[in-house]
Chain A
Amino acid sequence: MRLKIAIALAGSCLLLASVPLWAHHAFAAEFDVAKPLKLTGTLKKWEMINPHSWFHIEVKGADGKIAQWMVEGGSPSALIREGVTKETVPIGTVLIIDAYHAKSGENKAVGRDFTLPDGKRLFLGGSAQNVAPPAN
Chain B
Amino acid sequence: MSHKFPILIAGTLLTAAVVIGQQTPATRTPAAPASAGTAAKAPAAAKPWVTPRTPDGQPDLQGYWTNATYAPLERAAANANKPFFTKEEFEARVKQAAAQDEQQTTPGTTGDVHYDFTQFGLDKSQNTFAMDLRTGMITDPPDGRIPAQTAEGQKRGRERTAAYRPAGGYNAVQDIIISSRCVIYANPPGPPMLPQGYNGNYQIIQSRDSVMILFEQIGDIRIISLDNRPAPPLTVRNTMGISRGHWEGDTLVVETSNFAERPQGRNTVLAGISDNFKLIERFKRTGENAFEYEFTVSDPETFVKPWTASMPFARIKGPIFEAACHEGNYGIEDTMAGARLADRKAAEAAGKK
Contacts and interface: CB of A to CB of B under 8 A. Distances in A.
B321 A80 contact: yes
Interface string B253-281: 00000000000001111110000000000
B73 to A, nearest CB: 3
B126 A128 contact: yes
A24 to B, nearest CB: 6
Given A78-B122, A133-B91, A135-B37, A51 B197 contact: no
Nearest to A52: B328
B199 interface: yes
B1 A14 contact: no
A16 B321 contact: no
Interface residues of A, number: 92
Nearest to B219: A50
**Chain A contact residues: over half helix, strand or loop, or mixed?**
loop
A28 B8 CA distance: 29
**Size band of the B side of the interface?**
35 or more
Contacts of A98: 107
B102 A4 contact: no
B208 interface: no
B338 A2 contact: no
B53 interface: no
A110 B199 contact: no
Given A1-B103, A13-B161, A122-B119, A112 B23 contact: no
Interface in B1-45: 1-12, 16-21, 23-27, 34, 36-40
Contacts of B338: 29-30, 32, 102-105
B337 interface: yes
B121 interface: yes
A105 B91 CA distance: 47
Given A4-B103, A22-B266, 13 more contacts: A13-B268, A20-B197, A21-B198, A29-B339, A31-B113, A52-B329, A77-B320, A78-B20, A114-B119, A116-B10, A120-B8, A125-B5, A126-B126
Interface of A: 1-7, 9-10, 12-33, 36, 47, 49-54, 70, 72-84, 88-90, 92-94, 98, 100, 102-106, 108, 110-114, 116-118, 120-136
